[in-house]
Structure 1
Amino acid sequence: MSEYFSKAAAFAQNAAKLSKKMSEGLVENAREFGLEATSSRHYFDTSEEKMRDIKRQLDSRHDREKMDGLKRLIAMISKGRDVSEFFPDVVKNVASQNLEIRKLVYIYLLRYAEQEPDLALLSINTFQRDLTDQNQLIRAMALRVMSGIRVPVISPIVLLAIKKCVTDLSAYVRKTAAHAIPKCYSLDPSQKDALVDIITTLLNDNSPFTIGSVIMAFDEVCPQRFDLIHPHYRKLCKMLIDTDEWGQIAIISLLLRYARTQFLNPNPNSNNERTVPKKKSKDFYSDEEDSNDSDDSLDESFSLDPDHELLLNSCIPLLQSRNSSVVLAVAKVFYHLAPSSEAYKLGKPLVRLLHSHRETQYVVLANIATMATQRPSLFEPHLQQFFVRSTDPVFIRDLKMEIMTLIATESNITGLLRELQEYVKSPNKDFATSAIQAIGRCAIGMPEMAESCLNGLMKLLWSKNDAVVAESVVVIKRLLQLRPQDNVDMIMQLAKSLDQITVPMARASIFWLVGQYSQNLEKVAPDVLRKAAKTFTTEADVVKLQIINLGAKLLSLHPTDHTINLITQYVLNLARYDLNYDIRDRARFLRGLVLINGKKENTGENVEIMETSQSTEANIILTDSLKRILLCEKDAPSEESPSAGRDRFTIGSMALVLNHSIPGYEPLPDWPTEKPDGSLRDNLDETWNRSQSIKGFGSEYIGNYARSSTFEGSFTKKRKDEYDLNRFYDSEESSSGEREESSGEYQF
């Protein structure tokens, strides 16, 4: 048996030696062909030996080793390592015939060209030669790198390269030239006039693949030169659906600013947009056709400019885009440009975006909340889409409840209150208190529902959740101010619950209510003061202040009542030695205000107040005015929306989401008072054909649907016919509908 094991061990040893020799042979053969097998860890190895190895690889005659060395350099750059010492070795490979090596060299050059401007200039000749290469990728890459090298001395060379590429037969190269324009402008602003001429040339481009980049360059170099846009306005509107998604956003932003300066306000008589009659909308998933299409959707007294209407009609198909930024950009156009009666088309597409990621939801909800403050009718039919889900984070939840309160109407308030009552039962205290605040906003916004909301909130006073009880009392206090003549019973119920309520703000609110309406609580108010005097020293500061106010108000109503006088003096004496200086100051002020004609306690003795003949008359006047001073009517509260102030910003802007102005934000221009000359837009040579468009960019569904005969026919209708967005939400058609393509042009 031992002999058997010894033979097995010898066999295993020989096999290991043979395997080692085979692997060494493979490595040597791979090294000869430049295919050395290495792990990815060596890309981040920065030892001196490895640095010498990288230099050897860059000088190698094998493309595989050069590529491996360049990858290691790029990996070090990504880690923040300074590898500018290899600049001469990298520049030598700038003319390599291997396209992958060129890409890596270009990445390295863009990183270190500013540090080594003299060496970077050595590669300029290579880039200029590449501009005439037969491969469009090489031509575009050469221009991209030239424009990315931040060396001011080469700006004239870059300008010449851009001028050469704007007439290139390849749309991809022309697009790259458009991207190079802002880079050249930031490098040398003195070249602005020449760059504007180049942009003017590029605006004549008929490729949807290029036009988006041209508009981006226009916004960077000369955003106010609308005279360059006049002859291309209609072309931009018609090309909008065929451009890529980010190009669509750029074009829509430009056309929005253009329209605000070239067309008249379509809502000249809408002083209060909240009262604009709303278009009757169907349920979110309804497939029924709207049989009552309004023929007078536009104001009869206002005639919409055909070019203005062309922009709105061109944007309608983009409401079906899968890109949320595109949908939001179209919403911006309709909100700021469309007649109020046409803005209802925004509701369903924006609600559809709420099924995306939470970050997108937050941005969309912030914009919806802003629009709902002025036009709540846009989202009234979609109330249920804003109901809070158990998985919603706090920032989504708060915005949804805010929107629900903004779009509350007589028809949906019952269901909304029922939903908010369910939220109050949540074990999450913050969520429950937010729901109670929402109920209060509904009651303040709709006074006719205040009684129903108050009854529901009064039931919450017996909740086992202290936070719910406290917030309910605070909201009830605000609501009772709206009903000053009919609140005695509720205040009495609140006074009875003082023994169970422990939250300071809630107790302070109850004491304020008892004191403010003590004229109607002649028997209850003094007893509340008596009980409050017993617990004064253990109360919170905010409660102590309201107890002092309660005593002063009762004494102003009953100046001759000996019991109230003694209790008030007792409370004021306790407050006189309180640790909080606000309470001490308040007590000193109220003592001098309400005890001027009586006896006041001073160091434990009753001393008559010394009065002169002049002060007696002043005291009488003050006594007569005491009730008006302490018991004056308080203005009813007006609950302000948390999104208040956002409406001063443009829809879809970052400033709106953050609710404050940020660098780079520019407000929309004001509407012109007189109609500008529209003949400037008639200079367009109508030679653009949709068959020149490039497929494969933007939403594939939109492209197929846009080329269908159904879609083209919809634009031949009159303005009063509305674009059917419900087809987009029909699950049966969207899952099986293959539409035939048509080669015809749009007919706007």
Structure 2
Amino acid sequence: MGDSGYTLIYDPNSASKTSVSEFKTLLEKGKDDAKVDAMKKILITILNGDPLPDLLMHIIRFVMPSKNKELKKLLYHYWEVCPKLDENGKMRHEMILVCNAIQRDLQHPNEYIRGNTLRYLTKLKEPDLLETLVPNVRQCLEHRHAYVRKNAVFALHSIHKVNDHLVPDADELIYKFLYDESDSVCKRNAFVCLGDLNRDAALQYVQDNIAIIETLDPLIQLAFIEFIRRDSIANPTLKSQYTELVTEIIESSSNVVVYEAANALTVLSNSPQSILLAGSKFVDLATKEADNNVKIITLERINELHRSNPGVLQELSLEILRVLSSQDLDVRKKALEVTLQFVTSRNVEDVVKLLKKELQKSSSANEEKSAEYRQLLINAIHQLAIRFVEVAANVIDLLLDSMSDLNTTAAYEVITFVKEVVEKFPALRKSIITRLITALPAVKSGKVFRGAFWIIGEYAHEESLVQEAWRYIRASIGEVPILASEKKASEGVTSTDDSVQNGGSDHSGAKKGPVVLPDGTYATESALTAEVTNVTDDDKPPVRKQILSGDFYLGAVLSSTLVKLVLRMQRLKAQQSVLNALKAEALLIMVSILRVGESSFAAKKIDEDSADRILSYIKVLNDEEDKELIQSGFLDDTKDAFRAQIETAELKKAEEAAKDFHENAEQVDDSISFRQFDKDGGKSSSSIDDVSLASGSSLKKEDLSSRLNKILQLTGFSDPIYAEAFVKVHQYDVVLDVLLVNQTTTTLRNLSVEFATLGDLKVVDKPATANVGPHGFFKIQTTIKVTSADTGVIFGNIVYDGQHSDESTIVILNDVHVDIMDYIKPATCTESQFRKMWNEFEWENKITIKSQISTLKEYLDELMKGTNMNCLTPGAVIGEECQFLSANLYSRSSFGEDALANLCIEKQSDGPIIGHVRIRSKGQGLALSLGDRVASISRKNKAAATVKV
């Protein structure tokens, strides 16, 4: 329907061209298959700039009479591109024969040949040729077959556009045709043409059908919507009537029509009713439509509507959450993301209730990704509680209740969320900690215990809370000393009747039988002793079980919590007797953990770090001199650090929101710039002319001299042919511009360059073959598709014919290495996402570092610059005065691959920086490629000072 397009045909071998006489011979003597091949070659030659005017008569004589369908199609392609005028600009006489053939085809009994011929006429732009064909086209409008009629309408419209004198009554003809026609496709085509030819007639047809607009075929409804959208721009006064019309069409039974009508409605009207109607229709589509892509697209449209009309769609938040019934995780994620933006204090409670139901439902579901879905729900609930203090308490109750059903990652996220809430809302602290202590018995993960103990240690500010927490901790550890009670339990379990008779020497007996007490008497059987004799792992208190299984990090955190609770009681001026009892019990528990860590009862020996930490806590509790310093260190500094961390995160969020607002906001006194009228290359960032934008000329001009630094030599200077390449990296492909120079005094015939690749690269096109004259230059370009950020190698050779036909010479090219850094970009992610990916990714590459760079911070900057990674560790952690540095780095490739790195380095007092970098990724290639970059950075030495001898 638009302007004429252009076809670019690729000629694989420009060196060997078929002559006109050879083409003539092929067309005269060949069979249909040979003629098909010849016609294809003729079309390629014409499209590449050689019109071949001498062939027209041969094609009329030898191809036109054929009944071969493929040949007939190619013939119509040929009529489209062949030269129809002679040197004087007049129509060639042979075209009369062509006209007769087209006329015969327009009267052909086969409807598909008629339809195909009519489609060809829409591409014909010569009025002299079309003039004789108009009567036949008009006849085709009344053909019995719809395929002919629908193409005849377009042909008529196209002829009118070429010269309106050929069909002066085209609009009347099509208007009449519209009323007589019954086929929906023909009606749609006719209405589209009428809208272009006669706007008033099209409007009249729309008005005539207003009463039955809802019952019309979806195709016509879509055509109406398109017409309304275009006409409302030219006639803004009709917008209100058009809005009413579209409001009726939007009730259509077709989802496609509903989507287009909702889109049109948002363009036609800014009234809240229209926006709400469009939004609710998008929500209906998102819930009804089965295709996940459609769900995501419609949810995004709702999001855009909300951005442009804030506050209008808030009542749809619960409706959008109906989309959560979808099984696809991406759709659920999008639905939650969109809903969170609509929540206000009026509807937050309803949304939380719905999310609570979903969480309970997903806890009992056995779907493949239910754990991930639970995590999404917890994150959503978390965000709502932080934003709306009125639901925070209810939300915490809900999450702590469901903690026993959650996996470790989700339960830890609950604890992380509780941390944030107790810091932000001091009024809720007491109730939250009480609730947390009652929820802890259901916890099974050491990681969750660690987070919970930290919260208790930091925020149990009242004596009653401290005592409540202490009671729980005491119960969760069980009998102390742990080692002695474990020994006693194991002896009690393994003692049997036989072992007593054998003087207790046999420990291999069964678990049943009389129990011997330490004093040598038999224990009387009771409910209590029956429990003691069968102490299994499941019966042990939860924290004790974790410590015996080897989680001594939890033991260290527990010890830290005990110290904090004792110091808190000191600060609260508790009774000395109570203080002494707590201190004694704390010391007993800590020593007990150390002792059991050295024994064979623990699954593994205690690690040095945990042992050192616990020992230091024991010293701290016994230190009476530096009370004030210890109290501020344990009770204030850690809390301040956590507060600073939360404030930094909030600041970052606020900055992002401000940046987003600033980019989308316009100042009231800004001048309005019309891009279409601005021809000075765009002085302001927003005033860029459409043409220059399309051609790319408004983009940053490339400094051509910088290309010289990127030129790679592919062959030697003494080779018969010299080659060099400029490698240009785009988003998903690499373009090689290769310059070839013939260094001999003979013509190199049929010269071709062949490329092959290693890694995730694929050669998209084969460069053309050519003849290169003596000392001649030849330039080729080839595209190589890149599918992942992996180290890629491109290698190849040049082949050309020698003096004799059976000789060929091959010149091997140098390898070209693709730099993966062009595809890796710094990115950010949350700490929990980083940890999750770190655990999931199977490829790890560990690189040992020994570098002469002077400071740790400088090395980190160098590493970030060299690997295009972003540091996720907050700046406060990276201090200059420390001799040790640990940081997490993250980046993403253009192909959506994640790359994680953990840097652990220390600066030796008199030597280089030593340590290691661990890189993890899903695929091996990315981990290895980044490892090579890290190794090359470590090898960078400072310039050695020159010493004069």
TM-score band w.r.t. shorter chain: 0.3 to 0.5
Q: Which has the higher contact order (CA 8 A, sep 6+)?
A: 1
TM-score (normalizing by structure 2): 0.35
Structure with more helix by fraction: 1
Structure (1/2) with the larger strand percentage = 2
Q: State the TM-score, normalized to the length of structure 1.
A: 0.43
Larger radius of gyration: 2
